[in-house]
Chain A
Amino acid sequence: MARKPILGLFEDPNYAAEAGDALQRANILPQDYDFLTDAPYPEGAFGERHEKHRLYVFPFIGALIGLTVGIILTSMTQLAYPLTQGGKPILSLPPMAVVTYESTMLSAIIFTIIGILFESRLPKIKKGLYDTRITEGYIGVLVNVDEEQLNQVSGILTQAGAVDVVQET
Chain B
Amino acid sequence: MAAGEHSHEGMWVFPAPEAVTQDMAEKAEAMPKAIARALAVTGILFALGIAGFVMRALDDGFGAHGPWGYYAAIFMFLFMVTGAAPLAAVAFRFTKSHWRRPLSRVSELFALLGVLNVIMFIPLMIVLPSIKNPEVGVEELEIRRSIWFETPIGAPLAWDFLGLLFLAICSLAILWLSAMPDMAEGRLTATGFRRKLYSLLAGRWYGTKRQWILHKVGLGLLGAFYFMLLVFVQFTVASDYAMSLVAGWKDSIFPPLFTLTSFQSSLGLILVTLFIMRRWGGYEQYIGVSPFWSASKILLGLTLLWAYHTFAFLITFWYGRLEIEQNVLKYFFFEAYGGAFAANLFFSFILPFLILLWNPVRKTDWGPTLAGLSALCGAFIFNLKTFVGAFNAGDVYAIFFEFIPGPTWPDLWDVFMVVGGLGAAAFIYLAATRLFPILSVWETKEGAKYQKMDTLVRGRYLVLAKPE
Contact = CB atoms under 8 A, between A and B. Distances in A.
Contacts of B458: 17, 20, 44-47
Question: Is the interface on chain B under 10, 10 to 19, 20 to 34, or 35 or more residues?
Answer: 10 to 19
B457 A13 contact: yes
Interface string A14-37: 101100100000000000000000
A123 interface: no
Given A14-B457, A94-B315, A44 B321 contact: no
Contact of B461 (A14, A20, A42): A42
B319 interface: yes
B3 interface: yes
Nearest to B6: A44
B457 A43 contact: no
A45 B3 contact: yes
Question: Is the interface on chain A under 10, 10 to 19, 20 to 34, or 35 or more residues?
Answer: 10 to 19
A42 to B, nearest CB: 6
A124 to B, nearest CB: 26
A45 B457 contact: yes
A55 B306 CA distance: 28
Contacts of B315: 94, 98
B457 A41 contact: yes
Given A43-B3, A44-B3, A45-B3, A88 B459 contact: no
A94 B456 contact: no
A40 interface: no
B318 A87 contact: no
Which A-B residue pairs are the 5 nearest by beta carbons? A44-B3, A47-B458, A44-B459, A45-B457, A17-B458
A46 to B, nearest CB: 6
Contact of B319 (A14, A42, A43, A94): A94
Given A17-B458, A43-B3, A94-B318, 14 more contacts: A13-B457, A16-B457, A17-B457, A42-B461, A44-B4, A44-B459, A45-B3, A45-B456, A46-B458, A47-B458, A47-B459, A94-B314, A94-B319, A97-B311
Given A13-B457, A14-B457, A94-B315, A43 B321 contact: no
A49 B461 CA distance: 17
A128 interface: no
Nearest to A87: B321
Nearest to A14: B457
Contacts of A13: 457
B456 A42 contact: yes
Given A44-B3, A94-B315, A88 B457 contact: no
Contact of B321 (A20, A42, A56, A88): A88
Contacts of A17: 457-458
Interface of B: 2-4, 311, 314-315, 318-319, 321, 359, 456-459, 461
Nearest to A101: B311
A13 to B, nearest CB: 5
A97 B319 CA distance: 13
Nearest to B456: A45
Interface of A: 13-14, 16-17, 20, 41-47, 56, 86-88, 94, 97-98
A94 B310 CA distance: 12
30 contacts: A13-B457, A14-B457, A16-B457, A17-B457, A17-B458, A20-B458, A41-B456, A41-B457, A42-B456, A42-B459, A42-B461, A43-B3, A43-B459, A44-B2, A44-B3, A44-B4, A45-B456, A45-B458, A46-B457, A46-B458, A47-B459, A56-B359, A86-B319, A86-B321, A87-B321, A88-B319, A94-B314, A94-B315, A94-B318, A94-B319
Contacts of B314: 94
Contact of A42 (B4, B311, B359): B4
Nearest to A47: B458
A115 to B, nearest CB: 15
A47 B4 CA distance: 9
A13 B455 CA distance: 13
B310 to A, nearest CB: 12
A13 B318 CA distance: 61
Most buried by A among B3, B315, B359, B457: B457
Nearest to A97: B311
A73 B3 CA distance: 49
A132 B41 CA distance: 72
Nearest to A86: B321
Contacts of B321: 86-88
A151 to B, nearest CB: 26
Nearest to B455: A45
Most buried by A among B3, B4, B314: B3
Contacts of A47: 3, 458-459
B318 A43 contact: no
A45 B318 contact: no
Most buried by A among B315, B456, B459: B459
Contacts of A20: 458
A87 B322 CA distance: 11
Contacts of B3: 43-45, 47
Contacts of B4: 42-45
Contacts of A16: 457
Nearest to B5: A44
Contacts of A98: 315
B360 to A, nearest CB: 10
A14 B461 CA distance: 16
Contacts of A14: 457
A86 B317 CA distance: 13
Contacts of A45: 3-4, 456-459
B99 to A, nearest CB: 19
